[in-house]
Amino acid sequence: MLLGSETEEHVRMHDLVRDVAIRIARTEYGFEVKAGLGLEKWQWTGKSFEGCTTISLMGNKLAELPEGLVCPRLKVLLLELDDGLNVPQRFFEGMKEIEVLSLKGGCLSLQSLECKDLIWLRKLQRLKILGLRWCLSIEELPDEIRELQELRLLDVTGCGRLRRIPVNLIGRLRKLEELLIGKESFEEWDVDGCDNTGGKNASLTELNSLSQLAVLSLRIPKVECIPRDFVFPRDCTSFKVRANYRYPTSTRLKLDGTSLNAKTFEQLFLHKLEIVKVRDCGDVFTLFPAKLRQVLKNLKEVIVDRCKSLEEVFELGEADEGSSEEKEMSLLSSLTKLQLSWLPELKCIWKGPTRNVSLQSLVHLNVWYLNKLTFIFTPSLAQSLPQLESLYISECGELKHIIIEEDGEREIIPESPGFPKLKTLRIYGCSKLEYVFPVSMSPSLPNLEQMTIDRADNLKQIFYSGEGDALTTDGIIKFPRLSKLSLCSRSNYSFFGPTNLAAQLPSLQILKIDGHKELGNLSAQLQGLTNLETLRLESLPDMRYLWKGLVLSKLTTLKVVKCKRLTHVFTCSMIVSLVQLKVLKILSCEKLEQIIAKDDDENDQILLGDHLQSLCFPNLCEIKIRECNKLKSLFPVAMASGLPNLQILRVTKASQLLEVFGQDDQASPINVEKEMVLPNLKELSLEQLSSIVYFSFGWCDYFLFPRLEKFKVHLCPKLTTKFATTPDDSMSAQSEVSEVAEDSSINREWTRDKGWRLVS
């Protein structure tokens, strides 16, 4: 009945279930729910709500209200108003039994609440929840709120003009469980009980009178606002300082944009915290000092962002030998998520011995922009990660090791590290990283699904052979579930490990290689690519051809970019397996002479027309060629019949291209059609081709494009092929013309709807 949501504070309900629930609530329990309808006008008469116990009009922008409501049984009222609406003075007078009042928007003056000197408000002894969220007209809370002795929740989130809370108003609400003042609201906390305007204002010391306080959301802009001997309420399970406006439901602390010092942090951490989020706190050097070791046992989530002075996250220290603390559960054993970002002074995540630390529950670890961090794990920590699923490391310029070889502890590490549930590994911009994992760890990655390494230009090996590491008996590392592999680097590393090691990748679907200087070694280490669907090769300076023996029967997309020594892409024997290819892009390959070349053992063979016709791409939809200046033609003309699904053909900046479809010297005219049809071609673009003479040259000089929708020719001064429409509105290309075609040097564009037009 309930659906998940993006946050743990909310759930979603299916529309059908919600409608049924509203109907039952209306008929049996006196509910009136008109939420989320965008209403602007009041649609009810004065007695419409007489029998109601609950009214919800949230998710609207009501621009009018009646002078008052007669609701003798009403207990819950939820209103969302237009920001400019003034709430009538007597609007709340007829609500004697109300327990929950939530108002969002609107202009609520003290007079709105002061009907007959607020006698009505004083009588609301049952009121338990008072929400005045985003009421921009409120400048001070009325003193009479202190009379609401049953109040459990007070929410003034978003009251941006709130500047005064009378002294001891908060302290008198002894049953208060949730106090939400956080986002864009009151922050004029007074230390001495008197603010700078001469009027009395609330002090943080009043919080110590709230023995039942469980959830606290507020903003403390300066540490001077905290009284010298002040201690945050010890029974409070959830803190937010300058928090977001969601109702928190777990034991958490969120600090945002404060200048709180280490002493204040220690006060806050004297609680059984589970979730800690710290942002823009500039005066803290150690987040969890050694004296607060016990706090680490309950932590489930830690997020630290943009704390410019932070040097270490966890100071571990030593437990006394034989103490009860030493025998208790391991530190950080409940931690499921650790996220550290934009911490320019952070030198280490854990300081001190890690043998009493267990990351047995850690699922997600994200670190980025930690400029001074040199390693992530010690050997002992790397052995305690059975639940880790994602590891994301980005822009850590001094990082040299994921797992440091020595952790400074005398304890012998008996086992190799392993992440048996790791699914995603992403490393970006770590320019000093030399190694990722020891080769002995490779068998313990059976669930790895995605691996991305980008801009790690000092990387020597992903899996390195350390002291005492033994290679597998058959020299093969198996990654049974790895489906996406992206390697973008300018280093000479030999990829998975030592050159005599190979990687078996039976599930790989996406492979991207960018900047690798020793592709020969790399191709020898990649085996079993039977399920590869997308292949992108970029900036490979030594690659002359795709590696031999590659069978790509499931390949759908091939993109080759900036491979300067590449002379051809396919051989005839490879074409046979490329029946699923849909997209072919070849860009900036300066020495490319042919897209398809003969195999080495075909030097003495003659490729007859029927052989050429058998070399086809039956599912190819898009071809894009750009800046391949030695290419003379794309395909032999006989292959055109093997492109039945081609939809997009773009050729740009190929200075030596003579024709799109050329004639093979050995082809026989007997088996070549005089008229070729590309039945599904929708877009044809020929641009900046200074040498092109024909669209097709050879035994077939007439092409027909019955479904062409857009054609563009731009800067092709030597083109003689005549493009014209046929009586049935198809586009044709006739190449048997001895002179340059009329207007061929003019930039022209044709569309099926508008015909020919000149373009600049």
**pLDDT tens, 191-219?**
754 444 455 788 888 888 888 888 888 77
* Residue 581, SS3 per DSSP: coil
> Which residue stretches of the chain have pLDDT < 50?
110-119, 193-197, 242-250, 326, 410-414, 602-610, 670
Please say whether the beta carbons of 30 and 7 come within 8 A.
no
Burial class (CB in 10 A: 0-12, 13-18, 19+), 323: exposed
Sign of CA dihedral 720, 721, 727, 730: negative
* 723-758: burial string, b at 16+ Cβ within 10 Å, e else: beeeeeeebbbbbebeeebeebeeebbbeeeeeeee
∠ at Cα 422 (419, 424), nearest 5°?
Answer: 145
| Distances, alpha carbon 142 to alpha carbons 76, 166, 498, 580, in Å | 21, 8, 74, 73
- What is the length of the chain? 760
Question: How is residue 23 written in tokens?
Answer: 């109907």
Instruction: Write down the pTM of the prediction.
Output: 0.74
| Three-state SS annotation for 123-182 | CCCCCCEEECCCCCCCCECCHHHHHCCCCCEEECCCCCCCCECCCCCCCCCCCCCEEECC
Contact (Cβ atoms closer than 8 angstroms) between residue 26 and residue 48? no
| Burial (Cβ within 10 Å: 0-12, 13-18, ≥19) of residue 394 | middle
Q: Is 383 helix (H, G, I), strand (E, B) or coil?
A: coil
Tokens of 462: 């992903």
User: What are the E-state strand segments in 542-646?
Assistant: 557-561, 568-571, 583-587, 594-597, 622-626, 635-636
Distance CA 226, CA 387 (A): 41
Instruction: Give the per-residue pLDDT at 604.
Output: 39
The CA angle 133-138-139, to the nearest 5 degrees, is 130
The CA radius of gyration of the chain, in Å to the nearest whole number, is 36
Q: What is the spatial distance between Cα 240 and Cα 182, in angstroms, rounded to a whole number?
A: 7
Tokens 């959301």 sit at which residue? 217
Largest CA distance in the chain: 108
Q: What is the pLDDT of residue 25?
A: 83
